[in-house]
């Protein structure tokens, strides 16, 4: 790991902002994830509170409408970029973002007791890859979802890509299909009226969910709950775009990640340490049509 990341990790440890797993800003007890899962189950893993609604809000609403047991877990605490912020203030920010998520997801039909946070530092998930791997493995094992919904490996925000990478690797090992959502990347910005995956990234064909007027309004209402994230509250898009994760060469997956060279180097080292034979990563094909898309 780069000296800069090691230093930040050490500072967060000394200040009590991130001492895995017992003292972490924004970490919830994860008791909701160990609750007995019922019926058809979907686990959503997002990097920050707001990503799940931006990327898949209407899909989650449709799944809930069908009676699917949807659980949501955030990998980071959304504390913001500045690690110098007093830890007490970081706690307040993390609580605020979790409450916003409860409110937004409540609008979409989810109850607060299905939402959890792992509490890794915002913009610093790549410093805790082994810990995040363990947590996500535990989440998948306890929820035993029929499929997982997460960020696309699309070269957008580095926490998004790291979350997607870990979820895809863990899900492949546990033989669970993964559905990726497109959020923003080099070809589509967050404010573009259209959304999609990078034009030359990945072989599987995208699945488009086109919103009804009512769904669009519902999503706009849900996003308004994110008062602390003014840029997320803009919604012009009338569709959500997904794809089933395909079996891919691990090197190709790493190439699809965004981030500074030091972050990519950390990911490469982690990939080599975790995967005995990292090429290829075999994803499970979803059985039949699992998605409520028209
Ligand atoms: Zn995000």
Closest CA to 161 of 246, 260, 282: 260
What is the tens place of the pLDDT at every residue in 38-93?
789 999 999 999 999 999 999 999 999 999 999 999 999 988 767 788 999 999 99
Q: How far is the CA of 222 from the centre of ligand 1 (A)?
A: 16
What is the tens place of the pLDDT at every residue in 249-261?
888 888 888 778 8
Q: How far is the CA of 48 from the centre of ligand 1 (A)?
A: 5
In residues, how long is the chain? 294
Confidence check: pLDDT of 266 > 60: yes
Taking each helix axis from N to C terminus, what angle separates 129-143 and 158-174, rounded to the nearest 10 degrees? 50
Question: What is the overall mean pLDDT for the chain?
Answer: 89
Domain spanning 3-274: which superfamily?
LmbE-like (3.40.50.10320)
Q: How far is the CA of 213 from the centre of ligand 1 (A)?
A: 25
Domains in the chain: boundaries: 3-274
Q: How far is the CA of 288 from the centre of ligand 1 (A)?
A: 30
Q: How far is the CA of 220 from the centre of ligand 1 (A)?
A: 17
Q: How far is the CA of 96 from the centre of ligand 1 (A)?
A: 15
Q: How far is the CA of 174 from the centre of ligand 1 (A)?
A: 25
Q: How far is the CA of 81 from the centre of ligand 1 (A)?
A: 12
User: Residue 177, Cα to own-chain centre: how many angstroms?
Assistant: 15
DSSP state of 151: E
Q: How far is the CA of 51 from the centre of ligand 1 (A)?
A: 5
Among 54-58, 59-63, 185-189, 202-206, the minimum mean pLDDT is found in 202-206
Q: How far is the CA of 276 from the centre of ligand 1 (A)?
A: 30
Q: How far is the CA of 49 from the centre of ligand 1 (A)?
A: 7
User: What pLDDT shows up at residue 278?
Assistant: 56
What is the tens place of the pLDDT at every residue in 113-135?
999 999 999 999 999 999 999 99
How, if at all, do strands 147-151 and 115-120 pair?
Answer: unpaired
Farthest CA pair distance, the chain? 52
d(CA 68, CA 62) in angstroms, rounded, equals: 9
Q: How far is the CA of 211 from the centre of ligand 1 (A)?
A: 22
Q: How far is the CA of 50 from the centre of ligand 1 (A)?
A: 7
């Amino acid at each position: 790991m780069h000296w800069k990341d090691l230093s930040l990790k050490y500072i967060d440890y000394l200040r009590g902002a991130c001492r895995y797993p017992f003292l972490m800003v924004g970490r919830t007890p994860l008791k909701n994830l160990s609750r007995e899962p019922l019926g058809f189950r979907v686990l959503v893993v997002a990097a920050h509170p707001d990503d799940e609604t931006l990327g898949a809000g209407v899909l989650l609403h449709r799944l809930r409408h069908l009676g699917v047991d949807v659980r949501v877990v955030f990998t980071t605490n959304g504390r913001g970029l500045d690690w110098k912020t007093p830890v007490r203030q970081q706690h307040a920010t993390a609580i605020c973002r979790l409450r916003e998520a409860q409110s937004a997801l409540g609008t979409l039909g989810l109850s607060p007791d299905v939402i959890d946070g792992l509490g890794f530092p915002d913009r610093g998930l790549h410093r805790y890859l082994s810990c995040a791997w363990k947590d996500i493995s535990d989440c998948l094992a306890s929820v035993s979802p029929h499929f997982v919904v997460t960020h696309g490996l699309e070269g957008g925000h580095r926490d998004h890509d790291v979350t997607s990478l870990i979820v895809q690797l863990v899900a492949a090992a546990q033989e669970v299909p993964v559905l990726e959502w497109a959020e923003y990347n080099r070809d589509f910005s967050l404010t573009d009226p259209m959304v999609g995956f990078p034009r030359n990234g990945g072989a599987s064909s995208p699945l488009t969910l086109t919103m009804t007027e009512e769904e669009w309004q519902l999503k706009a209402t849900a996003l308004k709950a994110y008062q602390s994230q003014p840029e997320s509250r803009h919604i012009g898009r009338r569709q959500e775009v997904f794809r089933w994760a395909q079996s891919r060469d691990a090197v190709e997956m790493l190439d699809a990640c965004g981030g500074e060279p030091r972050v990519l180097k950390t990911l490469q080292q982690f990939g080599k340490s975790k995967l005995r034979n990292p090429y290829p990563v075999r994803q499970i094909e979803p059985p039949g049509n699992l998605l409520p898309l028209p």
